[in-house]
Structure 1
């Protein structure tokens, strides 16, 4: 039996390397490893191939790679061809315009998309971006409210609303938004942290402590432990505050705020040496912080080391000249040493800066009383009591 002969003519097949799939994967590979220019060239080539199919994914890749003009060129051609896809084309064009800082054009395009598909939350989110870029935060809030109506379980939209309200000091509204975030995603640390900050602003200390505690539970960081400690101290739960400051320092021994704040707690408890030890550590981190130097000097005064304290007060004043609190504290220090004349000079400077500084007037009155200038002392006391 004769077998058929195989043809010597090879059937032409498209090369794998010229296929859409291959080039799409190659572009993503280039982009992933930082060769963005090569990726963009491949994506543009894919868009330029004859095809009646709208290449959504390729356009989105170009936009993500910030190749806005290349994406625009393709989209503007497709506007007249893909009528069924016009809302999505307008949305993608709006993203390109935003990327090119053409905000009015972006706003117009996304509004056209919303007219056709008002139930799409992503469109409302982009409209909110446009309003924020234009400086109209109230209209941005309206857009995000509409986004929430379209996607009520989207915690990120609630979070954005909360941030806008918080930035514009609408603390109660911001709190409601962050509460919504916590209800939708109860294990997200960031949402609990922002909720806690709003409670703190509203002086709802117990609620702030509870929220910071949840934030720490779901995403423990030294900064969160320090904020929780601060809340406990403000809520007069001193032992718990100390506990969490120590926890912070256990995991981050050079946590500056914890060193400074725990030192202040110890000073208020009369534990001056413990405070000094912490301030020494803090001073090694930021030796030129005037507030730290002021606190260091204040603690030294309570140890009776007024000469050394005066040095630190002067150093702090070199960094922030004429700071009222530091000036006053230095004057107290000088008065304890009996340095009346310099105290008078500095207190007069303080009163020039703040004519209603009652404590300054009272201290000046005490100095004049010590040097037997009783009439001047009485005048100062009257100013301190606002009787003159």
Structure 2
């Protein structure tokens, strides 16, 4: 009907008051039209964030038209916002049965399952979502993160690389690729990826820490010292950097340098039992 179209145009133009008035009129004129209730609920949700009222309208839309896919999507989102997770999941499951060729409900279920650390189920949902919409770059990222949680490293890499093909500068994906290579024991490749990022973000201490830890893990102590020393120049109060440097210097028998670093760390964390024990251990050695 014409008024429904006018309401949708107002909603698209972000004229929410006008859209709400039109959809309220549609609901009054055609109370059996599920789309009217659904669109009124969407408008109220955007205008006032009234979850209770919007949820009621979405439920009414489904009651009027049990095959109204968008109403199930919207109701599921409201239920999730209300903390009613199981009901949200069940609502989206019904949506997948109604429209198995549309990706939105599968996407929402993937988010739901990954939020609850149910990664195998999340993987299945994101895979289906991508089958239906292969152009969704963000979905490749979500699926890659799920694969990574499942320690399925090769599929994780493949999906992170799909993101990088579409967006070569995507920091999070390149960082994740470096971490996966590290977990796989492919340390030179991991360091290469970190170096690529470091050239773009030369003052990112986190990148230096990751590279330094790889050098420690592979017993390349001089390289680790150089990287962590540079990190400390950039952030003199970085606790992890201070701690790792102190441990390395102590392991090298450089007790005076280690003690200085433990003391600096103790100033930042006066309650640290670790620092107290280290200082007590080293002070007698230096005074000898």
Stretch deviating more after TM superposition (182-191 or 129-138)? 182-191
Q: Residues of 2 paired with 1:352 and 1:112: CA distance?
A: 59
State which of 321, 326, 329 in structure 1 corresponds to 2:242. Answer: 326
* 8 Å contact from structure 2 (residues 246, 259) kept in 1: no
Could you say which residue in structure 1 is the equivalent of 2:56?
108
Secondary structure at 1:236's aligned position in 2? coil
Q: What's the C-alpha RMSD, in Å, of the aligned pairs?
A: 4.0
* 8 Å contact from structure 1 (residues 114, 120) kept in 2: yes
User: Which runs of 5 or more residues in structure 1 are unaligned?
Assistant: 1-52, 280-294, 299-308, 373-388
Secondary structure at 2:236's aligned position in 1? helix
Could you say which residue in structure 1 is the equivalent of 2:229?
296
State which of 51, 68, 75 in structure 2 corresponds to 1:120. Answer: 68
Q: How many aligned positions are there?
A: 282
State which of 229, 251, 257 in structure 1 corresponds to 2:178. Answer: 229
* 8 Å contact from structure 1 (residues 263, 274) kept in 2: yes
TM-score (norm 2): 0.76
TM-score (norm 1): 0.59
Q: Residues of 2 paired with 1:206 and 1:130: CA distance?
A: 36
Could you say which residue in structure 1 is the equivalent of 2:34?
87
Q: Which has the higher contact order (CA 8 A, sep 6+)?
A: 2
Could you say which residue in structure 1 is the equivalent of 2:220?
270
Could you say which residue in structure 1 is the equivalent of 2:146?
198
Q: Residues of 2 paired with 1:109 and 1:165: CA distance?
A: 26
Residue 152 of structure 1 deviates from its aligned partner by 1.3
Could you say which residue in structure 2 is the equivalent of 1:151?
99
Q: Residues of 2 paired with 1:316 and 1:104: CA distance?
A: 50
Q: Residues of 1 paired with 2:24 and 2:150: CA distance?
A: 50
State which of 161, 164, 177 in structure 1 corresponds to 2:125. Answer: 177
* 8 Å contact from structure 2 (residues 4, 22) kept in 1: no
Larger helix proportion, structure 1 or 2? Answer: 2
Could you say which residue in structure 2 is the equivalent of 1:15?
none
Stretch deviating more after TM superposition (140-149 or 236-245)? 236-245
Cα deviation per residue 1:67-112 (whole Å; 9 max; x = unaligned)? 233223233333343355x211111111122122222121111111
Cα deviation per residue 1:254-278 (whole Å; 9 max; x = unaligned)? 59465664465467573856985xx
Could you say which residue in structure 1 is the equivalent of 2:44?
97
* 8 Å contact from structure 1 (residues 347, 360) kept in 2: no
Q: Residues of 1 paired with 2:150 and 2:136: CA distance?
A: 22
